[in-house]
A and B are shown apart, each in its own frame.
Chain A
């Protein structure tokens, strides 16, 4: 079983749909992250949760709504998305946030296509 699992791996949705991406980590970590990966652009940090509290929020549009019900699970709720939101969404986890020296463990990503 991989350390960080993301579902679904692929998602196609219309601009009026509501869907959610799920991330689960089996590593006992207490910090979780959402990153957006678009071709030839820097990886964009979206949200960070530490001990289930949101600690970083990078000016992400409100059509993306994160949820962290416990330290093992992270969701990204999607509604009324735009075609430019099509990307690979990566979840990561780490042991510690304030004191973390930067080693993140990533899932394989959810490939989102917005029609």
Chain B
């Protein structure tokens, strides 16, 4: 079975400081990994994904994430946070080896609060 853990319900950071939102995953094969963002009263929006290749992937709005196979992690990062980054962030995984389950499995979400 595939699963995702986001250990922090909320992350608080001051504007201009770097931010990290943590994600760990569990799959039986190789993973596809994703980050999505949800702004208030909106659906989820795709931010970035790791499929293969370079472990550091860059996405929308200056976000990036690093795939670490040994630690089974895919943390989301940004060098300098903006107040407008305040939102709910979801990590998701798809196990390539799991042929019966193609849809993504999501975590519980981490609320990012950026203070001015």
Interface set of A (CB-CB < 8 Å, partner B): 4, 6, 33, 35, 40-43, 45, 48, 55-56, 90, 92, 97-98, 100-109
A56 — which chain B residues lie within 8 A by C-beta? 101-103
Give the interface size class of chain B: 20 to 34
B108 and A107 within 8 A (CB) = no
A100 — which chain B residues lie within 8 A by C-beta? 102
A105 — which chain B residues lie within 8 A by C-beta? 46
Query: Smallest CB–CB gap between A101 and chain B, Å?
Result: 6
Given A43-B90, A56-B101, A100-B102, decide whether A109 and B43 contact each other with a Cβ distance below 8 A: yes
Instruction: Give 11 pairs: A residue, B residue, CB < 8 Å, sorted on A.
Output: A6-B43, A45-B103, A55-B102, A56-B103, A92-B43, A97-B103, A98-B102, A100-B102, A103-B46, A104-B44, A108-B42
A104 — which chain B residues lie within 8 A by C-beta? 36, 44, 46, 104
Give CA–CA (A4, B46) in the complex, Å: 14
Given A43-B106, A45-B105, A108-B43, decide whether A102 and B94 contact each other with a Cβ distance below 8 A: yes
A42 and B105 within 8 A (CB) = yes
Q: Which residue of B lies closest to A38 (CB)?
A: B108
Interface set of B (CB-CB < 8 Å, partner A): 4, 9, 32, 34, 36, 41-46, 49, 51, 90, 92, 94, 101-109
B43 and A90 within 8 A (CB) = yes
Q: Which residue of A lies closest to B101 (CB)?
A: A56
B102 and A33 within 8 A (CB) = no
Give CA–CA (A22, B36) in the complex, Å: 23
Give CA–CA (A48, B49) in the complex, Å: 21
Q: A42-B108, A43-B90 are in contact. List 18 more A-B contacts (CB 8 A).
A: A4-B43, A42-B4, A42-B109, A43-B44, A48-B103, A56-B101, A56-B102, A90-B43, A97-B102, A97-B103, A101-B49, A102-B34, A102-B92, A103-B46, A104-B36, A104-B104, A106-B45, A107-B43
Q: Which residue of B lies closest to A44 (CB)?
A: B106
B9 and A102 within 8 A (CB) = no
A33 and B103 within 8 A (CB) = yes
Given A102-B92, A104-B44, A108-B43, decide whether A41 and B101 contact each other with a Cβ distance below 8 A: no
